[in-house]
Structure 1
């Protein structure tokens, strides 16, 4: 990508951002990065999509194929005041403007250059999935983890940090060669701990 401008590299670099349910953290990052012109997709790694219910022991659980709009309408019917107050309806309203439904990473066959994960458990699930795949083209992919608590405020902050990180990475003409130094410099500047692994498609 050495001959390309930053804007051209933004379009060429394929990026995925992943949390557990493809609801909160990954979708806020998806929204912001898409707005900034990045070639971005988002996913979850969980078995099912889980959202808080009206009590701790009674979460709302959905299949990944359930449209955000259907989940919105389901929560609205169940208790619109509670789910408006805890931010679930606002979150789902944002999500349904971005794409149709949450997607499960392990079922996806697209090839990415950079994968951003939002917690260590998700990072481990991503690496485990790559270990089960058989690399065919040996295309290199960087998996980078930033721990982001799963609440609306931290999701906003995490999306900004991901955006700042990509803004630094995209400037480099030889990302594969220089990423370790770039990540170390970013950690020191932002006082954020990152995890990084290289995987292959």
Structure 2
């Protein structure tokens, strides 16, 4: 049995981890959106102390153009231009989770701090529909390789949930299975819309 779950994947800047998972889940046919929870979009700069900072309204193409103008060779080598090219094929610009009005069955975060921010936002907003949402954190380091590996963990979670009799009831069993298989600890909480 396959359930048509609606899924949100959330990281800090809606650039690397959430977009890699968004890309894979969409390719596999899942209804997926992605978001960031940060105050702004931050990407690595030429030096550690000088990141590239953009607002959430800046299209991926404009960010790529800015980086090409700053240092084409550097941002090609570190993979940012390739990442932005993938992102713009999925959607036009990064989106901020706190501005999202849509409801999801499952929200997967990629970092404990983001998990906390998502729950804080859901708990602070006025609850309208009282629909239940599961929030699960899959800890993923913010680099290209880990984002790719992490997207497969998220895909496995979503795939297993969508094939259970009752995803809401079976989520703990699925998480327990994946924690043992992946030797990874997941965080899980419930919230309401």
Smaller-chain TM-score bracket: over 0.9
Aligned partner of 1:115 in structure 2 is 107
Q: Secondary structure at the match of 1:199?
A: strand
| Cα drift, residue 181 of structure 1 | 1.7
Q: Which consecutive residues of structure 1, in runs of 5 or more, have no partner in the other structure?
A: none
Give the structure-1-normalised TM-score.
Answer: 0.94
**Corresponding residue for residue 144 of structure 1:** 136
Which residue in the other structure is 1:190 paired with? 182
CA RMSD after TM alignment: 0.8
CA distance in 1, matches of 2:75, 2:102: 34
Provide TM-score, normalisation by structure 2: 0.98
Q: Deviations over 1:8-27 (max 9, x none)?
A: x2xx3110000000000000
Alignment of 1:80 onto 2:72 = yes
State the Cα distance separating 1:198 from its structure 2 match: 0.5
State the partner residue of 2:150: 158
Q: Distance in 1 between matches of 2:133 and 2:127?
A: 11
Cα deviation, residue 57, structure 1: 1.2
1:96 is aligned to 2:85: no
- Does residue 64 (structure 1) correspond to residue 64 (structure 2)? The answer is no
TM-fit CA distance, 1:176: 1.4
The one-character-per-residue Cα deviations of 1:38-89 (angstroms, maximum 9, x if unpaired) are 0000000000000011111111100101000000000001100000011110
* 4+ aligned runs moved over 4 Å, structure 1: none
Q: Distance in 1 between matches of 2:149 and 2:169?
A: 28
Aligned length: 193
In the TM superposition, what is the alpha-carbon distance from 1:29 to its structure 2 partner? 0.4
| Structure 2 Cα separation of the partners of residues 73 and 19 of structure 1 | 23
Q: Shift of the alpha carbon at 1:189?
A: 1.8
Structure 1 residue 174: Cα displacement: 1.0
Provide structure 2 residue ranges, at least 5 long, that are not aligned to the other structure.
none
Residues in 2 aligned to 1:73 and 1:186: alpha-carbon distance in whole angstroms: 40
- Check whether the contact 2:123–2:192 (CA below 8 A) recurs between aligned residues: no
Aligned residue for 1:41, secondary structure, equals strand
